[in-house]
Amino acid sequence: MIESGQIPTQSSAKEEVKEQQQAAETKTEAVAPAPKTQAPASNVPVVPGDIEIPVTGVRKAIAANMLRSKHEAPHAWTMMEVDVTNLVEYRNTIKDEFKKKEGFNLTFFAFFVKAVSQALKEYPQMNSMWAGDKIIQKKDINISIAVATEDALFVPVIKNADEKTIKGIGREIGELAGKVRAGKLTSAEMQGGTFTVNNTGSFGSVQSMGIINYPQAAILQVESIVKRPVVMNNGMIAVRDMVNLCLSLDHRVLDGLVCGRFLQRVKEILENISKENTSVY
């Protein structure tokens, strides 16, 4: 009040003291610990017959990671069609002998993972991660593969996939998937992934848009191989084995040009697989 140029009277001084006491009481109430309140209940109505399923820790972790990916990474999407007729013929020719010799199935997915790992080596920008003020281009090519159970999704990692044969990749896919379904997968086996390949075609999907496995920069969905009529270079129509490769990318890290070239290279590798130039060993 003095600073404002007003001279306090006796009555105004009493009022000021009273105001200070009230302010002190208010401050004491403010610093007192607030009573604990329960988390707000869900606003989803529940009627008789509905089933309430508690959210497991694994499901919460999946939800948090997917939500973070969608919120932080600006997703873009592109797709490329690939003629894998020669690959299908080659694999079907050797699968029985392979199973008898090696003791496990030779899946199409192993060929796709190998092709992707080879293309990543040629286009290392795809093997990168966003790190705020910089982009980290990873040296190792560690392929994450999505493996689903009845109530959860796990993403084990094939380390240094570019250094492994199709046989080696196939064996590791089978072993990791077996550990997931038996509940024996360790946390170490889910760490270090740099790029994800998802075998969505295993349940008949022909087109999908994956959510990027944060903090990676891209995820490739390998869709179902289906027979379709295709117009060949000579103008004739032939029935071919075709597959869609669907790529979701983090547009902070990657642009359409490099992603298009990467997919084109994967397509080239897959379309040129044959008994004459591709060994599974």
**DSSP three-state, residue 92:** helix
34 class by beta-carbon count within 10 Å (0-12 exposed, 13-18 middle, 19+ buried): exposed
Do 138 and 146 contact (CB within 8 A), yes or no? no
Alpha-carbon distance values, 272 to 82, 85, 231, 246, 275 (Å): 11, 10, 18, 20, 10
Catalytic hit among 50, 96, 133, 255? 255
- Going 105 to 218 to 181 to 222, the CA torsion angle's sign is negative
3-state secondary structure of 80: strand
Active site residue 71: no
The pairing of strands 135-137 and 153-154 is unpaired
In Å, what is the CA distance from 133 to each residue of 87, 130, 138, 252?
A: 42, 8, 16, 11
Helix (H) or strand (E) holding 229: strand 226-231
- Dist CA 240 CA 225 (whole Å): 10
- The one catalytic residue in 83, 151, 241, 251 is 251
Residue 241 is among the residues annotated as catalytic for this protein: no
**Amino acid identity, residue 59?**
R
E strand or H helix at 246: strand 237-250
Quick check: 146 and 109 in contact, CB under 8 A?
no
Q: Which residues are catalytic?
A: 251, 255
